[in-house]
Amino acid sequence: MKIVIAASEVVPFAKTGGLADVAGALPVALEDAGQEVIIVMPRYKAVSDAKFKIKRVSENISSSVTGSNIKVYFVENENYFNRDGLYGDKSADYPDNLDRFSYYCKRTLELLKEINFKPDIIHVHDWQASLIPVYLKTLYAKDAFFKGTRTLLTIHNIGYQGLFPKAEFPKLGLDWSYFGIDGLEFYDKVNILKGGMVFSNLINTVSATYSKEIQTKEFGFGLEGLLNKRRESVFGILNGLDYSIWNPDTDKFILKNYSPAGVKDKADDKEDLQKICKLPLKKDIPLFGIVSRLAEQKGFDILAEAIDDICKLKVQLVILGTGDIKYHQILEERVKKYPKTISLQLKFDDTLAHKIYAGSDIFLMPSKYEPCGLGQLISLRYGTIPLVFKTGGLADTVKKDNGFVFDKYTSDALLKTVKSAIKAFEKKDKWLALAKRAMQYNFSWEESARKYLQLYAKAKKSS
């Protein structure tokens, strides 16, 4: 099959979250399965010539290679993409995001014609690429080039929909008839993700549980009705994990490599992490790690409520992340109060993330909702036991025999589960057996790519 992956961030070129991990790893797994794949993404400032061996294709298109031989095309626009941020700066989203990503979508379709790549499937991700299926079914509806092309929209987080004022609708180049309840209109605003959901052939999310949850009022962010209407076309495929990057046996960022049989060696990585984070070098205190956006979605509201009680227990806590200023402040205050218990690293730091996954005993991920979640998959691979709220992809991947799960979203339930984890940690032999078991869970991309290929085949049969 000829497949285009259209995403606004792709590892190793640009990343703000899990979307980039998926858009980087899935094409490689598809290539390994014998498919012909290309990627199209915007060219941000960070995609530098020197770092990625960029080649010029045309005046505003350049390219690089990933996997064995996957062409990555970059849509360039000095004005729109040559910026430090992908979607905004520290204070807010960029005000011209509709212009930026509608340009990216249009240019992607034109590019396919220029390079004569007639795709069977254009697999678009999140709202930033959602205008591709919209344009295919409207502006390009009669274009013979795309006659055999079908689309799959993957929703990585339905909380981000690309909402813009109605007054911006004409910039999309679409007839006003598409601004209606059956089109891109959403409470008198333009909703780009909704457009993608209406016009794509099939839709999926990144876990089976989340695909059901988003069809309910509680998790659907207002789009549950539409998803319900299209429920025959809505699927869930769990993300895989790129084990060439996340493997404690070969990880170059960690002090001591280890395999399941040598999980005891994790102790060296724990000591290394404690040193880096200036925490007391204590083997017997359970070290809880967090690598996360500091956002309510990630459970920081209940964590903020429980944190005083948690810090009074025999624990250490390393938190790596950036996000809501509110949580920066709350956590900074607690560091002052409990300097020997908490280490707070307010930044995005890939190296430190690896060290936290390896050096922690328990990975704390009490997300309020979680489409799939990568943190728990990574921590399992590193024998770091996840402690999670039972939701979305967390519910599908963490169970009693590989982690700690609570099913009421309250600070009390979180605290209670933290206490059980501390108790379990005290039984050393059992704990090592648990860590060893966790490491042997397999969430490889091979299986997920196989499921995506089945979905592509299904999309090909639709009209």
Nearest CA-CA partner of 368 in 312, 439, 275, 299: 299
The helix/strand/coil state of 255 is: coil
Cβ–Cβ < 8 Å for 387, 403: yes
Could you say whether residue 320 binds ligand ADP (CB under 6 A)? Answer: yes
Tell me how far CA of residue 346 lies from CA of 89, 91, 300, in angstroms: 16, 16, 14
Nearest CA-CA partner of 324 in 357, 295, 281: 295
Return the amino acid letter for 286.
P
Looking at the Cβ atoms of 35 and 211, the one nearer to ligand ADP is 211
The helix/strand/coil state of 115 is: coil
Q: CB 118: neighbour CB atoms within 10 A?
A: 13
Q: Exactly one of 374, 398, 435, 453 binds ligand ADP (CB under 6 A); which one?
A: 374
Looking at the Cβ atoms of 135 and 210, the one nearer to ligand ADP is 210
User: Shortest Cβ distance from residue 365 to ligand ADP (Å)?
Assistant: 8
Contacts of 266 (CB under 8 A, 6+ apart): 248, 256, 258, 358, 359, 382, 383, 384, 435
> Which of these ranges, 196-204, 314-322, 407-415, 431-439, lies near ligand ADP under the rule CB under 6 A?
314-322
Q: Which of residues 389-408 bind ligand ADP (CB under 6 A)?
A: none
Binding mask 270-299 for ligand ADP (x = CB under 6 A): ---------------------xxx------
Tell me how far CA of residue 417 lies from CA of 268, 327, 361, 400, 421, in angstroms: 26, 22, 15, 12, 6
Minimal CB distance to ligand ADP: which residue?
18
Q: Exactly one of 145, 221, 348, 409 binds ligand ADP (CB under 6 A); which one?
A: 348
* Rounded-to-integer distance, Cα 435 and Cα 173, Å: 55
> Which of these ranges, 194-202, 277-285, 316-324, 409-417, lies near ligand ADP under the rule CB under 6 A?
316-324
> Which of these ranges, 248-256, 345-353, 423-431, 432-440, lies near ligand ADP under the rule CB under 6 A?
345-353
Q: Which of residues 150-209 bind ligand ADP (CB under 6 A)?
A: 157
Looking at the Cβ atoms of 257 and 322, the one nearer to ligand ADP is 322
Looking at the Cβ atoms of 14 and 111, the one nearer to ligand ADP is 14
Largest CA-CA distance found in the chain, in angstroms, rounded: 68
User: Shortest Cβ distance from residue 373 to ligand ADP (Å)?
Assistant: 4
Looking at the Cβ atoms of 20 and 190, the one nearer to ligand ADP is 20
* Rounded-to-integer distance, Cα 219 and Cα 232, Å: 19
> Which of these ranges, 13-21, 127-135, 185-193, 449-457, lies near ligand ADP under the rule CB under 6 A?
13-21
User: Shortest Cβ distance from residue 280 to ligand ADP (Å)?
Assistant: 24
Binding site for ligand ADP (CB under 6 A): 17-18, 21, 157, 291-293, 320-322, 348-350, 353, 372-375
